[in-house]
Every structure is written in structure tokens, then in C-alpha cells.
Amino acid sequence: MIVLKEVTIQNWFNIVMLRSANDQANKIFEKNIASNCFSLAQSSIEGNWVTKAIYYNETLIGFTMYGYSEELQGYEICRFMIDFNHQGKGYGKEGLNLVIQEIVNHFKCEEILLSFHPENEKAKKLYESVGFQNTGKVVKGFVDEHIYSLKTK
């Protein structure tokens, strides 16, 4: 069973050690996503982000960060990742659905946004599988990313 848990003094270091691919260790910006270390630092400075650990039963398998994005002017899943050791098992889709449900319950929003690196085909497939659609817009940044939207009502 997939569950979201608070980031705590007991699990933060293990969250930092998660990575999207075997060759992405010790990088602030992984190939397709900011590292969890960067995300935790960002969330501690910018007060609008919620960070959660993603667990399968008692095993830490991923990380997410969501909240209100000033840049996108909407509620955003800013980070979502499943450690490379746990990919391909269906945990991503189940975890993403939990994050969506938590955002809707917490913020009562009618739309959730996210963006991702255009070459990240796995992310695109996952996001589209739960109903996200390409807005045709791009967010400029370290890498220009496509903006996707999910209508929640």
C-alpha cells in the first residue's frame, strides 16, 4: 500500500539519497528533475511548498513537493519522483493519485499544474495516464519545461 508521510528528522537523509536513475547520485540537478536535496532546501526557504515522503508499506520509495506556485499562478506538483529501484512497479501512478487527492482535499482547487522536461517520456506517459493534458505553454528555467494541467472538477 502506498502512503504519503511527513518529512522528518528520521527520514530526511534517506529522502535526499533517493534518485531517479542509478547514475544520478550526488547531483543537485538530475537529468530530468531537481534533486530531493535541492527540493528540501527550496521548500525551507519558500514557505508555500508541502513536502512528503512516498512509502510502499514501510519502505521509502519516493518524494513529492506541491503547493501554490507564484510563477504558474496555480497549485502545482513541483516535484514527484520514485527512486529508480522502485520504478516500473505501478507505484508512480498510485503515488501520483494520492498526491492529487491530497492537494484537492487540502487546497480545494479546481486545477493542478505540473511541468516536466520534454525529453522525459516516462513522466509524460505517467501524467497523461491520470488525466493531465498539455496546455501548450512552457515554463522557462534551468530547462524549458512543458506545462500540463489536470482539471479536478
Domains of the chain, earliest start first:
2-151 (3.40.630.30)
pLDDT at residue number 32? 58
How many Å from the N-terminal Cα to the C-terminal Cα in the chain? Answer: 26
Q: Does residue 31 have a pLDDT over 80?
A: no
What pTM did the predictor assign? Answer: 0.90
pLDDT band at 25 (very low <50, low <70, confident <90, very high): low
What span, in angstroms and rounded, lies between the C-alpha atoms of 31 and 129?
22
Mean pLDDT of the chain: 89
What span, in angstroms and rounded, lies between the C-alpha atoms of 72 and 63?
21
Quick one: which H or E segment has residue 69? strand 59-69
pLDDT at residue number 84? 87
pLDDT at residue number 118? 83
pLDDT at residue number 73? 93
pLDDT at residue number 28? 53
